[in-house]
Amino acid sequence: MRPISVSAEVRIEDNQIVMEISDFRSLMSDLAEAESERDALRDILKTERASQDYYISQVNDLREAFDVERDAWARKVNEGNIRSIWIGLVGIGIGAAIN
């Protein structure tokens, strides 16, 4: 949008604002351009917000998947540790019985 420059002669007569018709048309054109730009920016912002919401939901889904996978690995590690402890105890018991 081009900057709005006011070079019109504007005056107040009988409690009304008075200006040349060409200045008024220029002012209305600038206003229409500003409104169009505002509407376009609102549409872009709406699209960006929708994209951001989609990406946030994807990140949340990935976090949940990682949590499930991490919990599964933790259970496997704990199961392996318990098995190792039992094997160690059995080995100690067998070693003590042999000696």
Instruction: Please check whether residue 6 lies inside any domain of the structure.
Output: no
Per-residue model confidence as pLDDT tens digits over 25-69: 988 999 999 999 999 999 999 999 999 999 999 999 999 999 999
**How many residues in the chain?**
99
Structural domain containing residue 40: 11-98
Q: How far apart are CA 99 and CA 97, in angstroms?
A: 6
Instruction: Please check whether residue 56 lies inside any domain of the structure.
Output: yes
φ, ψ dihedrals at 3, nearest 5°: -65, 145
Residue 22 pLDDT > 80: yes
Instruction: Please check whether residue 19 lies inside any domain of the structure.
Output: yes
Cβ neighbours of 1 (radius 10 Å): 9
Total of domains in the chain? 1
26 contact partners, CB below 8 Å, separation of at least 6: 8
Instruction: Please check whether residue 4 lies inside any domain of the structure.
Output: no
* pLDDT of the residue at 2: 59
Helix (H, G, I), strand (E, B) or coil at 99: coil
* pLDDT of the residue at 1: 55
For residue 12, what are its two tokens? 């107040």
More confident residue, 75 or 31: 31
Instruction: Please check whether residue 45 lies inside any domain of the structure.
Output: yes
Residue 99 pLDDT > 70: no
**Predicted model pTM:** 0.53
Instruction: Please check whether residue 26 lies inside any domain of the structure.
Output: yes
Instruction: Please check whether residue 74 lies inside any domain of the structure.
Output: yes
Per-residue model confidence as pLDDT tens digits over 8-19: 688 888 888 888
Instruction: Please check whether residue 80 lies inside any domain of the structure.
Output: yes
